[in-house]
Amino acid sequence: MINLMSLLPLARVEATGAALASAMIVTGCISPVAGPGGNYTQPIGGSPVTANPTPYSKGLVCMGHYARQSGVRAPRIAVGRILDYTGKADIEGGRRVTQGGSLMAMSALAKAGAVLVERFDTSVAELDLKYKNNKLIGDAPGNFDKIHAGSIPGSDFYLVGGITELNYNIRSVGGEAFVGATNATDPKGTAGAKLFVINVGLDLRLVKTDTLEVFDVISYQKQIIGRELSFGIFDFANGNVFDVGVGGRAQEPIQLAVRSVIERASLEMMANLYGAPNADVCALTRGVISTNSVTGDYRPFRAQLEDYNGGSRQSPNKWHGNRDSGYKAETEEPAR
């Protein structure tokens, strides 16, 4: 076997080794042996956890405040399956559309002040009920929990539906340009831009539980835009060749668009159930509620009605070991 490195001049080998070492340093410090903390390297990043709102999140929270201040009884709502009916999938990446539509709807309804009763995943409750029925759950042997009739509240309505559309490339437009002199050694440049639009669609229905009457039906769609920009230059200078290209791609997140459609549909349904007089429910509660958090304003379990914790939940610095001035994370083991 021929050793290719032996064919290179020593200076070139050293330069190549130095370049490889520099590249490894730049890309990050990785050790083949676990360090004192037990890891080969430290992960990059460290951004705080933030809220995940849509343009309709604040309206949902205001709707919940309006119901509380107006004394309107919040309906009990169960969320069923909100499935992906588009059938769109990548060969390697799996489904293109989120399978968590039901979970998004639960979050949206909770922001609007609805009383949610669990019907989506009752596996734990069913197992507990089975153990209680067999007298296996209790505080002490012989003191078992009893099953009481009527202890589980029913739902007034349940929400079901699905994501029914994912249309690719509704319209796209783009252009490319090449500029340069006829002389081969003169600089030349390229530039390009592309825009494309897709959309997602949703169909939801609100069903009255006791009669199975379809109380409300909503169908919404949202368009999603993406763009691509590129720029390059090619030139000869001092006997060297320079070929430089830059560009960027950006697309509005598909799953965030699905969440937006679900939140808009949930907002319209809750406005119907509450009998909201107009769309500006935030103005009706302005000055009464001190916070309109996009995460939802919830009352702590052992606090007064006015003590909402939405502002705390929305803050990106809360509970973060490096960003919350009132909270100090202990990163070192105590001395022994």
Query: Is position 326 within any domain?
Result: no
What residues have CB less than 8 Å from 91, skipping those under 6 apart?
none
Is 22 contained in some domain?
no
**Among the listed residues 236, 295, 303, 227, the one whose alpha carbon sits nearest the alpha carbon of residue 49:** 295
Q: What is the pLDDT of residue 7?
A: 45
- Label the pairing between strands 240-251 and 76-84: unpaired
Residue 182 placed within a domain = yes
Taking the CA of residue 93 as centre, how many other CA atoms within 13 Å lie in the half-sphere pointing to its CB?
Answer: 7
Q: What is the mean pLDDT of the chain?
A: 83
Which of 1-5, 16-20, 132-136 holds the top average pLDDT?
Answer: 132-136
Flag whether 74 is in a domain.
yes
At 156 the pLDDT is: 97
**pLDDT tens digit sequence for 98-133:** 999 999 999 999 999 999 999 999 999 999 999 999
CATH number for the domain spanning 58: value is 3.40.50.10610
140 forms beta bridges with 143
Mean pLDDT for the stretch of residues 288-314: 68
Quick one: pLDDT at residue 6?
47
Residue 86 phi, psi dihedral angles, 5° rounding: -75, -30
| Residue 7 located in a structural domain | no
Please, which pLDDT band fits residue 78 given cuts at 50, 70 and 90? very high
Q: Which residue in the block uniquely carries the two structure tokens 């083991």?
A: 333
Of the candidates 150, 151, 149, 157, the residue with the CA atom closest to the CA atom of residue 73: 157
- Determine the Cα–Cα distance for residues 141 and 133; give it in Å rounded to an integer: 15
Which structure tokens are listed for 150?
């009527």
pLDDT digits (tens, 9 = 90+) for 238-271: 767 778 888 888 888 999 999 999 999 999 999 9
pLDDT at res. 142: 82
**Is residue 8 very low, low, confident or very high in pLDDT (cuts 50, 70, 90)?**
very low
Q: Which domain holds residue 122?
A: 49-314
Kindly tell me the sign of the dihedral angle through the C-alpha atoms of 319, 321, 325, 331: positive
Residue 282 lies in a domain: yes
- Of 133-147, 215-229, 306-320, highest mean pLDDT: 215-229
pLDDT at residue 23 greater than cutoff 80: no
- 248 within domain boundaries: yes
Quick check: is 4 in a domain? Answer: no
- Give the number of domains in the chain: 1
- The whole-angstrom separation of Cα 139 and Cα 142 is 9
